[in-house]
Amino acid sequence: MTDHVHDLRSVREATDRLLTAVAKLDNAALAEESHLPGWSRGHILAHLARNADALVNVFEGRPMYESASARDADIARDAGRPLEEHLTDLRDSAARFLATTEPAQDWSRTVELRNGVTDLAANVPFRRWVEVELHHVDLNIGYELHDLPDEFTDREIAFLADRWSGRPEVPPVTLRAMPGEVWHTGGTEGTPVVLEGPKDELLGWLAGRDLRGAHLAVVAGDGLPELPPL
């Protein structure tokens, strides 16, 4: 069962790591390309701040974003700001998100996210943790998939494996990590695939962060499957 108190503590710790790392950059570095095609580091930081505010909306019963176009426009507007403005916005938006989680509330209630997706309120802190950790990697500033906390990697692999389960465009896939950890994903059509490798590489494939799967071994099937966009 999800422990939202634990996950909120993890969000704080991940946010602190992110802020410490970003504070070492400069304005020129923020304009450079990230690991995400078409996004600078500034785009990622702007997205993280606006995502925190969007999750405040979720907790307070409002639409997560006004619209997809408004979400994109906010990121584009904020991407080119100087470092100090980004840092202030990241700190303040993170504080607003955490403050919204502090009052007593029904953590078992269902809330609505983007595109009609629903989830339990208790799972929202983990979703924020995912945003902070994976986008820290996406910044391309030295924090890599293998640097992610072990607990996070295990949980995100399980979460994404479940996300791709039952998808007809994804063949049945068995994921194997040493020592003996196994996950299953994909649908029921097509040639079954078995992938083996380090957990960080399995996570990278599931999350679309390493489509090459450089250290994944395809031990059965027709090669590394292509997953739909997240």
pLDDT at 18: 98
Place of tokens 């974003």: 65
pLDDT at 113: 96
Place of tokens 């938006």: 93
Q: What is the pTM of this model?
A: 0.94
1, pLDDT greater than 90: no
CB contact set of 3 (below 8 Å; sequence gap of 6+): none
Q: What is the mean pLDDT of residues 190-196?
A: 92
pLDDT at 209: 85
Phi, psi of 120 (to 5 degrees): -75, 145
pLDDT at 221: 83
pLDDT at 226: 83
214, pLDDT greater than 90: no
Tell me the percentage of the chain whose pLDDT exceeds 90: 85
Q: Give tens-digit pLDDT for 4-16.
A: 999 999 999 999 9
